[in-house]
Structure 1
Amino acid sequence: MDRTITIKNKRFKTNHLKLSKMFDSKTFIFMIIGFLLSRSILIDGIAPLGLAFFLYICKVDKYRVPVYIAVLAGTLLSFNEITIIAKYVVCLTLILILSRKIKEITAIMKLSLVGVFIILPSSIICVCITNPSVYNFIIAGIESIIVFTSAFIFAYGVKFLISNQNKMAIKTEEIISISLLTTFSIMGVGQMAVLGISLRAVLATIFILISAIVGGASIGSSCGVIIGLAFIINNAVSAIYMGIYAFAGLIGGAFNKVNRYLCILGYVLSWIIIFAYTSGLESNINSIRDILIGAAIVSILPKSLFSRIESTIKINLNASQSVNDYIMRTKNLTNSKLENMQRAYNELANTFEKIRQKDEIINQNDMAELIDMIYTDECTSCSMKKVCWEVRFNKTYTLIYDMIQNLEEGQLSTEAIPEEFKKSCMNPEQIMKIANYYYKIFALNYDWSMKFEEGRKLIADQIRNISKSIKGLSEDIENSAVLDLVKEKNILEELERHNIIVNKINYLTKGKDEFKITIDKNTCANGGLCDEKLIGIISDYLGEQLSAQKYGCNIYKDTCKIVLTKAEKYTATTQAVSLSRDGHVLCGDNYTYMEIDNGQYMMAICDGMGKGKRAYDESSTTIDILEKMIEARIDNEIVIKTINNMLLLSNSDEIFSTLDLGIIDLKQGRLETVKMGACSTYIKRANNDVDFISSSSLPVGILSDIKLDRHNYKLNDGDYIIMVSDGIIDAGKNNDIGENWLIYFLKNLNTYDPKEMIDKIVDRALELQLDKIEDDMTVMVTKVNKIK
């Protein structure tokens, strides 16, 4: 019993699923269109539009039966003559029977001809039965022409509505087709009224207004013409109404860039003005009432509906959505490839890490090989070979094995040879020498093996860093800039209104609140910069404070470029100086400071080991890599690990450098420091207090496993960030003043110019060393100011 019930429930669910797949939102839309089109009577009772619509719909299995039922119901409820209704029922049924063959027809022209071959014989037979007059035969011919034309036009609209999600933009013929489908569907409402209100007039108003709001004046007036023409064909109004509908659609659509309420107001006022100057307002009060009701309905429709219609039919003339769709597909494709690369590099790093070396100089396999070498070198020529290695093999092997085990603690001496082995072997000292010799070879191989293993670990770590960089790049692309063509167009128009002509504008949005505007223009005739004027105009339009970066803006170039971004709250200016030890031309200290993308500012000092050219090469290479990787927006941890691995792998000698990195967030006014064996960083506040950031980390290039020493500090207006190399600090430490001498010196320093501050620090350091530079010295001072 229970089993039977379960089977029935399963069948019920299966049928329910089939129904849900057949009856989706598009199915109901096509059924409503088919029902109304079949009720739309044109001239002398002919109503072939439902037939023409069903002709293309029957090609799709999903919609064939539901739309057939809807068109059949509309035909039966059209209150037409019985013979005409019977004719259309026969034609519809014939199309349904031939639908399998019709489905194979791909050309729209051939499909339209099939409609003619079905309707024309049926119409001729119907005329012959009822009233075989010349006029009726002409009407039959006209009906077949209407079927041919309607089937041809409707096919574009139906095809678009079925698969519009894959369309980049709507075509003109598709716009016309959808407009005609909608218009004649409205005509199918007929004389239906609610409390005297004409549903046809209300729906016509709604259709024209939505078209005008979404598509503008051109689409609004075109839909007005189509509605007016359909009304004339349907004998609903006089010919003058086609012009009124077109005029009202034109005026309403002219305001679509402002807001929809002005569109509605323009449409309603157009009708009132025309009525006032023609037949009068009193005689058209019912028509005005219907128009006002339709306008009121459009005014309360949600804004999301218009956006959905616009995105569905893709009628937006600026093609922004199409471009963004293309960008998103490109980003997704790129991200997919980057993710595959990231996984491949991760797997490669894992492979390197899995390769393990032996944990001891001589393992079990090496022991057998070493004993075999001893036997080959010494025992093969011995007269006791047969006794030792054949008669007493196990005992001989065990004695040599026990002796070799003592080699793990170092060289084997004569005293370390077991007494039993001395009694059994004729040349124990020679065996000892050979064992010591081969042990040294095994130890040397073990040392190289350990170095190779360390190198593999470094390479694996670097490959993993590359994998992380690729992952970061993928995430950056995912959240990267997207073109906003609407804002580009509006900014261009805004600049033109202020008589500023530019060659090109790019507006890129980054994340939620970030954006970047790049403007290419001809250089000003007088060589002056116009960035302030541009900032003022665009800031007023966007409602945001902007800052500008200028490229190539001088009188010697024809074009220049200005990049506008959200204004930063702080600015940073840096001064730096380096002095080399003992008068060397090349200084072992290197420094850099630069503005990074996304409102950040970087300062760094690197102190290479030693002095002269070698120290200079080490520090300059480190700074070069740091600049390029930071500018590429690679994470700080990956950058420093890469530099560390490079120094470890670059030479067999020990090479290391101290690294002092500071990054200022100019939007939030925060300083992040990363120190690797570097001296303290000092922050001199506006009230003369001095904060210092110290570190106990080792320099880069010493250990393969490093841990970053990060600190984060809040900056205020007028703060000074002082970064120094150890040559400055050691000036006091080596002269019994201590390494904190700079803190007290900065507290008592009464100057607010970075260059003057550097000079005083260097002069004091030289004074402490009696004007002798004992180590390379570098001082970098960065002043932070808040933008007023």
Structure 2
Amino acid sequence: MEKVNRSLIEPLGEVQLKNVKTGAINWFQRLQVKMEDLFSNKGIPVAIIGFLLGRALILSQLAPFALPFFAAVFLVRRDHAPLALIGLLAGALTLHYSNSLVIFASVFLFLILHKIRKPDVEGQFKTIALYVFTSLFLVNLAEHYLIFQSIQLYDLMMIGVEAGLAMILTLIFIQSIPLLSIRKRSPTLKTEEIISIIILLASVMTGTIGWVLYDISLDHVLSRYLVLLFGLAGGAAIGSTVGVVTGLIFSLASIASLYQMSLLAFAGLLGGLLKEGKKAGVAIGLLIATLLIGLYGEGTGNIMITLYESLVAVALFLLTPTSLIHKISKHIPGTTEHLDEQQQYARKVRDVTAQRVEQFSHVFEALSNSFSQIDEYGIQEEEEKEFDYFLGNVTEKTCQMCFRKEQCWVKNFNTTYEGMHEIMYQLSENDGQLPQKVANEWGKYCRSGPKVIAAIAHELTFYEANQKLKRKVRESRRLVADQLRGVSAVMEDFAKEIQRERQSHHQHEELIMEAIQDFGLHIGHIEIYNLDQGNVDIEMRVPYCQGRGECEKLIAPMLSDILGETVVVHSEQCAMNPAGECEVVFRSAKKFVVETGVAHAAKGGGLVSGDSYTTLEIGSGKYAVAISDGMGNGERAHFESMETLKLLQKFLQSGIEEKIAIKSVNSVLSLRTTDEIFSTLDLAMIDLQDAKAKFLKVCSIPSFIKRGDKIIKIESSNLPMGIIEDFDVDVVSEQLKAGDVLIMMSDGIFEGPDHIENIEFWMKRKIKELKTDDPQEISDLILEEVIRTKGVIDDDMTIVTAKIKHNTPKWASIPVASKRKKAQ
């Protein structure tokens, strides 16, 4: 029984414990919501701030804080304006009842002015500040006249100063109050906004002047706590700024607190410099400043009290949650937390963008799969049904009224079926002509033989047209599938590129800038995007050099030595005047470069050639050389070959893989016209990093690689583009080397000399005998040799020669060994 009872009790205890924990969490959340509602929605902080500002004075007689605070709350959160007024009156009442009367009268006059003329939306801030100035000036003027029955120039000046300060504080408070709300605060605070908040907080703390506990002044403790808080959150600049502003306002409120400005500014500076030591480092900075300034300002008499005040501020600072300091740091520009927040936001935007692009990629891939799912069995079954319909139409016209119908289609079905199928096949293969043997055999079997053959021939034209149309539709589906697959691949690569984070290269930027400036050159700005080997990407702003080419001759060679690889000027945008700056982009130089030469001639020496060629560098670090030969000669052939190369160029530049690009171009050419206009394509893709080459030949003649005394032949077999809807592209790969010469030509060159039996051997011998390696000279010499040997130009001739060379920079690198070691 005990075991049973324990087994029943233990789970029950766990459930109760879970319920207690859940209840505690819910109670804490409810309490948090109530506190947030009390302080944010009910306006309790506004009343507290109003109470302290009602007590705040400058030079022990001026009270410029109350009315600006009410005006700001009235403009920003009108529902909290009554609480603000109550707090201000209660705070002023602790000083003297006359202060409460002045505040009440100035608020009443301000509301009257606002009621008489409500300010426009565009200039409401200036109008509200002017109302504050007018209200406070008139009320103080009336009060002084009622009390002293006269007004001196000094009194008028002091009244004007107080009203002027109130007008300025109105603009500051209007800007500060919305920033105190966490929900409405902007993600990044400007310097002016930070100072406005500090002025408001310091003004509030002046209301605690005179509050002393065990000889410890509360205003001193709070001001030093504020400096500690912002010194850790924002660093030395923000910490010293907070110290100066707070100390200045405290010194205006009480001349006895004049030395506090020096203490707070020094404490903020030291604390910000020691912020790497976290809370302990900032606290040590305050204690050092307290000892030094305390000895200088007040001597040894009150130094212990000043030290105790700093220790209390440090204790409050140590009890402050670190999360609160991080929240403040996120809104201060230049801090690590702010940078992380910005990077996190940028990362979220990047991830969302990459996710959407990837989703689109998956959509295109799914569409591609949907279009490409052509079941071979389904096609075969469909063709059988089509043939059955074909025979049905034939038998309806011939066999339906024949008295031997049952004999042929019931007893000898297979023989009749196979016989008609054979007739259809023979007619299709022989362009509508039926072999005599087949006709005789069918005449022996069928009494209406000629009639059946004529019906089959008639229906065959419609059947073939229908089949051709269906093949066109299937090829259209394949074209769409290939295009969608290519777009999907490009978008997937783009999504991966988006997700690549830009690394932080601040240290490298400083080292590079220092090295270049030590050399005597000045740089306005440098930004490194990538330092990967072979993929360096650096942007730089340099002063106007009057066209002396400092970037190419000096900076690029220095970067080459610092980074340990060849860096060249990729693009340069020069300044328009000597006072401007040039924007220069430096990138890694490719290991190889391609130098090309072209020679061509039209048939009969004409002006329009049916051959077209293109040489271009693709953004992915590849170099493309292509020749297209349109069928025939003249403008139509030239148009077809040019269209082929234009389409191919667009596909390649978009990032689509070469085979898919060629198949897509072929599909477009085969589908767009019914004319028998075809074109060949000879494409070479050379990788400029490793000199690997891919050759994709579509009904093109062989190409040759000259490597010293060795001649390498490159060939493959494919039908011309556009002649059939579906074909496979053979890819031939070859590793090129520096010094290799690639020679590509059209059939007019290769098949030029008619009397030469072995044209391939003749061409290899001519290439081998060349004494030059200049691409343009090679093209010219081969074209000239072919024309001279043949005697006439009976076809379009085009030859493109490409030489692969190591990329040797024009300017040698300038050694900066020490900097290069640091950068690496």
Q: Fold match, TM over 0.5?
A: yes
> 1:606, CA displacement in angstroms?
1.4
Structure 1 residues 774-783 or 267-276, which shifts more?
Answer: 267-276
- Tell me the residue number matched to 1:602: 623
Distance 1:281 1:134 in 2: 34
Q: Which amino acid in structure 2 is aligned with residue 661 of structure 1?
A: A
Distance 2:775 2:312 in 1: 73
1:558-569 aligned at under 5 Å gives the runs 562-568=583-589
1:167 match: secondary structure = coil
Per-residue CA shift, 1:263-318, capped at 9, x if unaligned? Answer: 999999977875675456999699799999999xx9xxxxx999966862243499
CA contact (8 A) 2:291 2:307 kept: yes
2:684 match: secondary structure = strand
Structure 1 residues 485-494 or 7-16, which shifts more?
Answer: 485-494
Q: Structure 1 residues 769, 219: closer, same or farther in 2, change over 3 A? A: farther
CA contact (8 A) 2:247 2:265 kept: no
Q: Structure 1 residues 16, 232: closer, same or farther in 2, change over 3 A? A: farther
1:56 to 33, 39, 50: 39
> 1:730, CA displacement in angstroms?
6.0
CA contact (8 A) 1:683 1:691 kept: yes
1:786 match: secondary structure = coil
CA contact (8 A) 2:775 2:803 kept: yes
1:178-197 aligned at under 5 Å gives the runs none
- Tell me the residue number matched to 1:398: 410
- Tell me the residue number matched to 2:422: 409
Distance 1:648 1:477 in 2: 37
Q: Structure 1 residues 429, 643: closer, same or farther in 2, change over 3 A? A: closer
CA contact (8 A) 2:618 2:653 kept: yes
TM-score, length-scaled by structure 1:
0.62
- Tell me the residue number matched to 1:110: 79
Q: Structure 1 residues 373, 663: closer, same or farther in 2, change over 3 A? A: closer
Q: Which amino acid in structure 1 is aligned with residue 646 of structure 2?
A: D
Structure 1 residues 533-542 or 669-678, which shifts more?
Answer: 533-542
Distance 1:294 1:711 in 2: 75
2:272 is the alignment partner of 1:242: no
Q: Structure 1 residues 287, 58: closer, same or farther in 2, change over 3 A? A: same
- Tell me the residue number matched to 2:371: 352
Distance 2:623 2:578 in 1: 30
> 1:239, CA displacement in angstroms?
0.7
> 1:619, CA displacement in angstroms?
3.4
Per-residue CA shift, 1:495-550, capped at 9, x if unaligned? Answer: 99999899xx89583697867566799987x6655544894699599979752245
> 1:628, CA displacement in angstroms?
3.4
Distance 1:413 1:361 in 2: 28
1:315 match: secondary structure = coil
Distance 1:499 1:265 in 2: 42
Distance 1:207 1:672 in 2: 63
1:590-629 aligned at under 5 Å gives the runs 590-597=612-619, 600-613=621-634, 614-629=636-651
> 1:646, CA displacement in angstroms?
2.8
Distance 2:309 2:730 in 1: 75
Q: Which amino acid in structure 2 is aligned with residue 459 of structure 1?
A: V
CA contact (8 A) 1:680 1:724 kept: yes
2:719 is the alignment partner of 1:722: no
Distance 1:364 1:59 in 2: 81
1:657 to 680, 689, 692: 680
- Tell me the residue number matched to 1:786: 808
Q: Structure 1 residues 200, 432: closer, same or farther in 2, change over 3 A? A: closer
Q: Which amino acid in structure 2 is aligned with residue 352 of structure 1?
A: F
> 1:374, CA displacement in angstroms?
4.0
Q: Structure 1 residues 119, 287: closer, same or farther in 2, change over 3 A? A: closer
> 1:462, CA displacement in angstroms?
2.7
CA contact (8 A) 2:176 2:193 kept: no
> 1:438, CA displacement in angstroms?
2.9
Per-residue CA shift, 1:302-357, capped at 9, x if unaligned? Answer: xx999966862243499988886776666556545544544444444344345777
2:458 is the alignment partner of 1:453: no
2:801 match: secondary structure = strand
- Tell me the residue number matched to 1:167: 187
Q: Structure 1 residues 429, 317: closer, same or farther in 2, change over 3 A? A: same
1:239 match: secondary structure = helix
Per-residue CA shift, 1:368-391, capped at 9, x if unaligned? Answer: 674466446785xx6x8xxx6xxx
- Tell me the residue number matched to 1:709: 731
CA contact (8 A) 1:606 1:659 kept: yes
CA contact (8 A) 1:483 1:506 kept: no
Percent of pairs with identical residues: 15
CA contact (8 A) 2:537 2:588 kept: no
> 1:489, CA displacement in angstroms?
13
Structure 1 residues 240-249 or 334-343, which shifts more?
Answer: 334-343
Q: Which amino acid in structure 2 is aligned with residue 407 of structure 1?
A: M
Per-residue CA shift, 1:732-788, capped at 9, x if unaligned? Answer: 998466747777777776656444455555566667768978754332334333334
Per-residue CA shift, 1:180-201, capped at 9, x if unaligned? Answer: 88998xx9xx999xxxxx9999
Distance 1:693 1:228 in 2: 87
TM-score, length-scaled by structure 2:
0.59
Q: Structure 1 residues 615, 291: closer, same or farther in 2, change over 3 A? A: farther
> 1:18, CA displacement in angstroms?
6.1
Q: Which amino acid in structure 2 is aligned with residue 575 of structure 1?
A: T
Distance 2:409 2:573 in 1: 83
Per-residue CA shift, 1:672-704, capped at 9, x if unaligned? Answer: 4343256345364xxx47584735353672673
Q: Structure 1 residues 314, 13: closer, same or farther in 2, change over 3 A? A: farther
> 1:493, CA displacement in angstroms?
13
Structure 1 residues 766-775 or 460-469, which shifts more?
Answer: 766-775
2:577 is the alignment partner of 1:547: no
Distance 1:510 1:399 in 2: 82
> 1:604, CA displacement in angstroms?
0.4
Distance 1:560 1:634 in 2: 38
> 1:641, CA displacement in angstroms?
3.2
Q: Structure 1 residues 54, 753: closer, same or farther in 2, change over 3 A? A: same
Q: Structure 1 residues 768, 520: closer, same or farther in 2, change over 3 A? A: farther
Q: Structure 1 residues 647, 367: closer, same or farther in 2, change over 3 A? A: closer
1:287-326 aligned at under 5 Å gives the runs 312-316=330-334
CA contact (8 A) 1:407 1:436 kept: no
> 1:243, CA displacement in angstroms?
1.1
5+ residue gaps, structure 2, are 49-73, 105-169, 215-219, 425-437, 813-824
Distance 1:343 1:159 in 2: 43
Distance 2:458 2:572 in 1: 70
Q: Structure 1 residues 358, 309: closer, same or farther in 2, change over 3 A? A: closer
- Tell me the residue number matched to 1:79: none
Q: Structure 1 residues 639, 219: closer, same or farther in 2, change over 3 A? A: farther
1:356-505 aligned at under 5 Å gives the runs 358-359=379-380, 363-364=384-385, 367=388, 370-371=391-392, 374-375=395-396, 398=410, 402=414, 403-411=416-424, 413=439, 415-416=441-442, 422=447, 430-431=451-452, 433-479=454-500
Alignment root-mean-square deviation, CA: 6.7
1:625-704 aligned at under 5 Å gives the runs 625-652=647-674, 653=676, 655-665=678-688, 668-677=689-698, 679-680=702-703, 682=705, 684=707, 688=708, 692=712, 694-696=714-716, 698=718, 701=721, 704=726
> 1:410, CA displacement in angstroms?
1.9
Q: Structure 1 residues 670, 415: closer, same or farther in 2, change over 3 A? A: closer
> 1:594, CA displacement in angstroms?
3.4
Distance 2:333 2:627 in 1: 58
1:12 to 14, 17, 21: 17
1:242-281 aligned at under 5 Å gives the runs 242-248=260-266, 274=293, 278=297
Q: Structure 1 residues 640, 252: closer, same or farther in 2, change over 3 A? A: farther
Q: How many residues align?
A: 670
2:282 is the alignment partner of 1:226: no
Q: Which amino acid in structure 1 is aligned with residue 629 of structure 2?
A: G
Distance 2:603 2:271 in 1: 81
Distance 2:97 2:449 in 1: 130
Distance 1:538 1:112 in 2: 65
